[in-house]
Each structure stands twice: as C-alpha cells, then as structure tokens.
Chains A and B, each alone.
Chain A
C-alpha cells in the first residue's frame, strides 16, 4: 500500500464541533432551561409574591414530589423503554410503609413486641430502639417496590414483552394490590416513630425542604452513574442501538432489569415521601402521576425513542411544570387551565427540538 500508516493524523478535513453545537447547548434540555429562566423572570414581574421565600419553598417542595420518580423513569426512558406503573408503585410503597409502621407500633400485633413496649401507665407506646420501626417500615416499602421492578424487568428483558404493555399491566396489578391490602381505606403512619417520619419527609433543613435535599443528592449520584460508570454507558448504548449493544457483549438483560428496578425504587421512595407530606397514604394516592412524571421527563429532553436524557433535564422538566402551575395560581387563572397548558408545553418542547435538529 502506498498509504503511510505511521505518520500522525491531521484534521484538515474534519473541523472541530463548535461549543454551541454540542453538549448541553445543543440539547433540548438546554432550550427548556432557557425557557424556564425566561419564565422565572416573567413571573417575577407578573407577581410580587413569586420570589418570596415562602413561595420558593413551596415550589421547591412541590416539584420535589414528582422529581425523584422522574429521575428513576429517566433511566428507563434512556434505554428506550417506558414505565407506566410509577403512580401505582408510589401509592403501594407508601401504603406498605405506613401499614408496617402502624402495625409494628401496636402492641399485640405479630412481631410488634420486638419493637415496642407499653410504658408504666399502660397506655403510652414506647419504642424499644427509637428509629428502628421507621427504618424497617421504609425498607418494607422499598422492598415491595423492588419486587415490582424485578417483575417488570423480568417480563421485559427475559420474556421479551413490550414495556408499554407490561407496565400497563403492572399499573393495574399494583393499584389493585393496594386496594386489597388496605381494603380501600387509607393508612396512616403512626406510632412512636411517626414524628421522625414526618420530620424526614416534610421537614426542612435551614429552610430547605427535605425532599429537595434528597432530590439534589440523588440527581448528583445519577449524573455520576450515567456518565462515569460502565453501567451508565451501557444504558445509553441500549437506547442508541440495542442490537449493537448486544453484539458488543453488553449484558443487555441485566442492564434492562436494573433500570426497571431503579425506576420502581425511585417511585417507591417518592411515594413514601409524598405520604409523609400528606400525612396518610390513601388508596387512590398518586393516581395518574405516571403521566406527570413522563411528561416532566420528556419536557426536560429525555427522548422516548431512547438514547437521550439526564438528571438535569428531569429536574428542569419538573420545575417548569411546577412554576407554570404556581404561576397560574398566583395570576388567579383557573387551575383547570394548567392541564391544557402542560399538554401544549410537551408538544412545544419536542417541536422546538425537532426544528433545531432539522436546521443544524
């Protein structure tokens, strides 16, 4: 061959991609973030109450109530899947957590003697080890979510069922089980550890709502996992080209099961936190929340076709939804308009991204 192979390569024909054409600047997340900033400024001029500390705390708390689940479903969406069972899973986990907590705190219930005893007055219930009931009940809630996620993952990755149909079934199954175990009644976190529970879920730290702190920690962990571990790389590869992922030896089945488990666990945790804020876990809690969660992820730039998405986008999507809701309330617009507007924004966000990718 005439071609010398050892000389160093030059990039005479291949230009460097400009900074505004790559990374966040070229992503839907970037555009939506920009839109959000504009909206925040507009809100500031529209209502003097918007940037008050109380309102900001409210906004931060409210969007945190769907944002953790949105982080979870973003994993699934990046692989090109979908999980419709998020809302039901939130409810079921919350329910199990509060039922276990009440159960273990009631002397006479099976197993309760390990955790509580009656004080000398014969009425007050005292925990043997403070905080243990809380820990066990939260773990119980997460374990049922884990099982739900494993079943989803098994059906989709091993049996090859469609994610849409599998998780649609799971939506119904989990909601049904919720009604079965509670007999249709709500359950309330009770007992000596309930105060800890409320402090952890609806309390705040230096004025910052606790759910918001969890959200930030989980988002940071997610960013590291997605971009700096081989699992994260495989999640993106799966969404980009599943056949290629398989041919290059990526453990496709294991990665798929993991993303559905992560999604279910995030939903379970989210449900437990929401129930702390509500003060109960009603059987119809978080009904149709899966749609809000998916909408937030999609607005934030996760691509339902797979391969694109991230924690920043998930959070930006949730914030945008909440700011619009909050803004409509402050502007005294009927709250019924909110839902219609959310729909318009979903379509707009995807449309803008489509136009952008046509142009460049």
Chain B
C-alpha cells in the first residue's frame, strides 16, 4: 500500500519538539510528519515519551521547544479544545467517559445538538440518539444510545469514545491504546474503523503496545525511546523483530 498523500502536504508537521518538566527532559528534538489518509503507529516502551508527544499534539501540554504545523499553518494550542477546533480528535486511553450518562449523551458531550424555542435552546435527544446509533452501526458495536455507560462492556465503551471522533470532520485522529483492554472481535472492529478513517482521507496516529495491530493497519511506524525519535520507517521496510529491538534499545536507531 502506497503512503496515501506522500506527495502532498503533510497534515501534521512537528519540528524540533521538546518538552521539559522541571529537570526532567521528556522529549527532545522530535521531527515528524503525518500525511492525510496515512496510519502512523507510534511505539515505544513506558516512559519513552509517547504520551507526552500525544498530549502536546492534543493541546494538553505546550511544548518547551519546537513548532507544530497543522494543515500548513503554525498552530499554538492552549487547551484541548483548541486542538479539536482545527480538526484533531483524541481517543484517550481512559476514554474520558462520564459513567452516569447515556451512550448518546457521552458521544455528544460538549457539543450537544439543540433545538431552539424562542430564546431557549433545548437538547434534541432524538436527533442525538439517531446519529449515535448510526455511528455505533458504522463501528459494528451493539450499543444502544439510551443505555448508561456504567452498564457497558469495555468494547462498547471504546465504541462510544471512538464514535465521538466521528462527529466532526477530524483531519487527524489519535488513538491512545485503543485495543489494550478489549476482546479479539472488538479489536478487529477497531482496526476496521481505522481502515475506514483512512479511506476517508483522515490521518490516524495509533499509539499501541500491540505489535500485531500496528503491523495490521499502519503504513508507517515511528519508534520512540528515551524521549527521542529512534526510527521512522515504512511498515514494508521493517519487521516486528526490528521494531522490538528499537523499542528495547537492542538496536540504537534505524
């Protein structure tokens, strides 16, 4: 599979990104590009700097050094909502769901559909449920919009979190360990969804520990170690063995 937009303009371009927390250097000199319709696997051991990098792109942290360009423009994110405004969606590892609300309510959290009655705007429960059911259908998840999230299985919760990213026209979707805690069949569904995002020209960044998943869907793999980028290779030019060696440090860089 050819990297979809390799000739075009990258949707995300990081130059020299660095982040320090006091005396701790979490990231150093990371350069990276992600193209539209491309699936990039971000791998690395715990503490390698993956999460920090994701949080910088998502607007949770501001980088100490470096520049982020999105869609050709330099961007500065002060809050996660800024990143979302330009078209970056994140599926967080803990999913960021409110257990006491229904599936539909969670999908539309923070961007509820409303109907106007004079000066008042009321929630349009029906429209939200219909749209949520559509999204769950696309994800092949047996999830009822009016069920409470606290009564749901791990896979259903994952589907709710992923359905959220489909509400807007996101250009980049980052998924933090989306396949870590779900069943084999549901992993298959999540990977299927990633393919669908790719077909629609959405760039996907997959943060995962699971080598088979990365090799099943990614076009390119980026390996982080000790806060630095150690490898950035097309999936065809590498192997799980090489990636493992890069993650553990048995092989310094490639």
Contact = CB atoms under 8 A, between A and B. Distances in A.
Given A1-B191, A11-B142, A229 B109 contact: no
A14 B138 CA distance: 17
Given A3-B192, A17-B147, A240 B98 contact: yes
B129 to A, nearest CB: 14
B137 A9 contact: yes
Nearest to A9: B137
Interface stretch (A95-103, A115-123, A150-158, A231-239): A231-239
Contacts of A248: 96, 109-110, 164
Contacts of B188: 1-3
A17 B191 CA distance: 29
Nearest to B108: A233
Nearest to A241: B98
B100 A14 contact: no
Interface centre among A9, A10, A250 (most CB of B within 10 A): A9
A240 B100 contact: yes
A265 B156 CA distance: 41
Interface string B185-200: 0001101100110000
A241 B140 contact: no
A249 B99 contact: no
Contact of B140 (A5, A234, A243, A244): A5
A239 to B, nearest CB: 7
Interface residues of A, number: 36
* Residues of B contacting A: mostly: mixed
B14 interface: no
Interface string A209-241: 000000000000000100111100110110111
Given A1-B191, A5-B196, A247-B92, A233 B101 contact: yes
Nearest to A239: B100
Contacts of A308: 100
* Residues of A contacting B: mostly: loop
B253 interface: no
Contacts of A237: 98, 101, 105, 109
B81 A236 contact: no
A2 B81 CA distance: 36
A249 B59 CA distance: 12
Contact of B137 (A3, A8, A234, A239): A8
Interface string B92-112: 101111111100010001111
A16 interface: yes
A178 interface: no
A307 B192 contact: no
A292 to B, nearest CB: 26
A13 interface: yes
Contact of A9 (B100, B110, B120, B141): B141
Contacts of A9: 136-137, 140-142
Contacts of B92: 247
Interface in B132-155: 136-138, 140-144, 147-148, 151
A240 B101 contact: yes
Contacts of A245: 98, 109-110
Contacts of B97: 241, 244
A228 B137 contact: no
A12 interface: yes
Nearest to A227: B123
Contacts of A240: 98-101
Contact of A307 (B99, B125, B189): B99
A13 B101 CA distance: 22
B114 interface: yes
B200 to A, nearest CB: 12
B122 interface: yes
Contacts of B120: 229
B121 interface: yes
B99 A14 contact: no
A241 B137 CA distance: 26
Contacts of B156: 14
B80 interface: yes
Nearest to B98: A240
B84 interface: yes
B100 A17 contact: no
B98 A244 contact: yes
Nearest to B107: A248
Interface in B29-47: none
Contacts of B143: 14
Contacts of B189: 3
Contacts of A12: 142
Interface string A235-273: 011011101111111100000000000000000000000
Contacts of B125: 228
Given A244-B96, A248-B109, A5 B142 contact: no
A236 B101 contact: yes
A275 B23 CA distance: 60
A114 to B, nearest CB: 32
A227 B146 CA distance: 13
Q: Which 8 A-B pairs have the closest CB atoms?
A: A240-B98, A244-B96, A307-B100, A248-B110, A240-B100, A249-B110, A249-B81, A1-B192
Interface of B: 80-81, 84, 90, 92, 94-101, 105, 109-112, 114, 120-123, 125, 136-138, 140-144, 147-148, 151, 156, 164, 188-189, 191-192, 195-196
7 contacts: A1-B192, A14-B143, A17-B147, A227-B123, A245-B110, A248-B164, A249-B110
Given A14-B143, A247-B80, 10 more contacts: A1-B191, A5-B196, A8-B137, A14-B156, A230-B112, A233-B123, A236-B100, A240-B98, A248-B109, A249-B80
